[in-house]
Amino acid sequence: MVSTDMYYLNKVMSHLFLDTSSPEADGVTFRSIGSIADFWKFAEGPLLDGLYWDKWYNNMTLTIQKNSSRIYYENLLLGVAQIRQLKVRNGTCSIYPYFQTLLKECYCEYRYQAEDRSAFGLKNGWNYVSVSSLSPWYWGYVGLYSNGGFIFTLPKSKQESMEKLVFLRQNSWLTRGTRVVFIDFSMYNANINLFCIIRLVAEFPATGGVLTSSYIYSVKLLRYVTYYDYFLASCEITFCLFVITFIIQQAIKIAKLKTEYFRSVWNWLDILLISIIAIAFNIYRTVEVSLLMEELLSNSSVYPDFYFLASWQVHYNNMIAVNVFFAWIKIFKYISFNKTMTQLSSTLSRCAKDIIGFAIMFFIIFFAYAQLGYLVFGSQVDEFSTFQNCIFTQFRIVLGDFDFAPIEEANSILGPIYFITFVFCVFFVLLNMFLAIINDTYSEVKADFAVIPSQEFAVSDFIRQVSTYPWELSQFKQADRKVYKRSLRGALAQGFVAVFLCPRLFRYTAELEKELEDVNRKLSKFMKKK
């Protein structure tokens, strides 16, 4: 799913389109855009320079296919780039009566209900386009933006694109109602068989100014090309067979145990449907890419919408990552016969109730401080600008990664009081209480295990006995071999029982006691009837 080539491709494209300027842009890069004028400087300078590569480094014309651009000489630009904006209507916010005579126009922050879909421009030549595809909405810094808007595409040549951008700038394509502009384009690198889908986003909040963000996805949409890819396909088929077999086993187990099955945490982990969802999505993605690829690449003069496929591919990769994480966690289940691992699991299970009670008390105090920080420093300090940022910032304070100067500058009295009391209550008191709970429980578990006779079967002893068994067996007569074989098997069996069963004796004993109580109860009822 992920390779180092993806990282390097993302890094190269990030440097080209986010951090590079040009003489025509007066040093403006995408990250440094601060106004509408800066946006046009970037669009007419660094953006066009990055999209259209028609000359070699010595200004010689590249001998490539007509009207095609190869970014960094290696990445084929698919189709053309698309620029899309969303606007809000005038009069969508309320003006206080004292200022109504001074302010005749008012544009609120972006909301889907306030979106302006009316045509505008020269002779109303720019029309709103509704997108009926399943392309996801975009969640930006200050709003959740729909997938429609006023759209235009850049021509295939750099000169024509420059003329079109100049025409849009001179005729005020961006207005006071503009709230976001998306720049989308895609490229393909045949050397490493990767698609790179880029979205540059410039948000124009109601406060004025510009907030920039970007999403660069390097994904492998054409999965099966090389022999290694077909090997991975065989591994995927094997994985599917294992999952199907496992589902059947768990279904039988649920039918036998019924409600008892769901009392084990490991069983809950086993029945997670992440693998099934991943398999279904992988099949859907493979079929969908095959169907859409020809359609998207049939016309090189239109914008091919790979953003939908790329975003879902990233979600699929995230799903696989979570699945692999739980697969690693399940290793604890199969090494639980080890004494140390048994002590760890027993400690966590015993102190679970105490930790839950402590967590409630901890987060009450933690969120109280987060609310205090948001109300006091939210308008001055970036780390406290939102309630979510306050939560992350306080975790950073606990870890020692925090700059005290900004909150002191924001409020010279409450800033130090907030910082000192938070560190004292959370770091010195609550965290030490948390450690004390775990330490006390671990001491109890360790004392319980000390009572149990130490009968762990060392793996090295097992290997040594097995390796010396054939030689020792040859030293005896046929009659003595049977006696020695039985004794050695008995020793191995005892070691096996010590390894796998001793840590679980208490649990099995408890289950047997319950069964005996049920049998006694049934016998007593039967005797009464007699």
- What's the token pair of residue 472? 């020792």
* pLDDT given at position 254: 80
* pLDDT given at position 132: 63
Of the candidates 266, 251, 301, the residue with the CA atom closest to the CA atom of residue 77: 301
CA 382 vs. chain centroid, Å, equals: 24
Q: Are 289 and 221 in contact (CB under 8 A)?
A: yes
- Cα 212 from Cα 196, distance rounded (Å): 20
* pLDDT given at position 476: 43
Task: Give the number of other Cβ atoms within 10 Å of residue 437's Cβ.
Answer: 15
Residues in the chain: 530
Rg of the chain taking only CA atoms, in angstroms = 33
3 state SS of 213: strand
Q: What is the pTM of this model?
A: 0.73
Tell me, what DSSP letter sits at residue 265?
A: H
Q: Which amino acid belongs to residue 492?
A: L
- Cα 17 from Cα 82, distance rounded (Å): 15
Three-point CA angle 125, 131, 133, nearest 5°: 155
* pLDDT given at position 44: 92
CA 242 vs. chain centroid, Å, equals: 26
* pLDDT given at position 497: 42
Continuous H helices in 171-273:
227-257, 265-270
What confidence tens digit (pLDDT) does each residue in 336-384 have? 666 677 777 788 788 888 889 889 999 999 999 999 999 999 888 989 9
Instruction: Read off φ and ψ for residue 393, nearest 5 degrees.
Output: -65, -40
Q: Which amino acid belongs to residue 435?
A: L
Tell me, what DSSP letter sits at residue 429?
A: I
Q: Which amino acid belongs to residue 70?
A: R
* pLDDT given at position 9: 93
Q: Are 404 and 420 in contact (CB under 8 A)?
A: no
Q: Which long-range contacts (CB under 8 A, 24 or more apart) does 319-324 make?
A: 319/274, 319/277, 319/278, 319/281, 320/1, 320/278, 321/1, 322/274, 323/274, 323/275, 323/278
Q: At what angle do helices 227-257 and 274-297 cross, to 10 degrees?
A: 150
**324-348: b or e for each residue (b if 16 or more CB lie within 10 Å)?**
eeeeeeeeeeeebbeeebbbebbbe
- What's the token pair of residue 504? 């679980």
* pLDDT given at position 493: 45
Q: Which residues make Cβ contacts (< 8 Å) with residue 106, sequence separation at least 6?
A: 90, 91, 92, 93, 94, 95
Tell me, what DSSP letter sits at residue 450?
A: H
Task: Give the number of other Cβ atoms within 10 Å of residue 225's Cβ.
Answer: 11
Burial class (CB in 10 A: 0-12, 13-18, 19+), 107: buried
Residue with tokens 């021509």: 155
pLDDT by position in tens, the chain (length 530): 678 899 999 999 999 999 998 887 888 999 999 999 999 999 999 999 999 887 777 777 665 555 678 898 889 898 889 999 999 998 888 888 888 778 888 889 998 889 999 988 877 788 898 876 556 788 888 889 988 899 999 988 888 999 999 999 999 899 999 999 999 999 999 899 899 999 999 999 988 899 999 999 898 888 788 888 888 889 888 988 888 888 888 788 888 877 777 777 666 666 666 777 778 878 877 777 777 777 767 777 788 888 888 887 888 888 888 888 888 877 777 766 666 777 777 887 888 888 898 899 999 999 999 999 999 998 889 899 889 999 999 999 988 888 889 898 888 899 999 999 999 998 888 888 888 888 888 888 888 777 765 544 444 444 454 455 444 444 444 545 454 445 544 444 444 444 444 445 555 565 666 777 777 777 777 666 65
Of the candidates 107, 152, 110, the residue with the CA atom closest to the CA atom of residue 129: 152
3 state SS of 139: strand
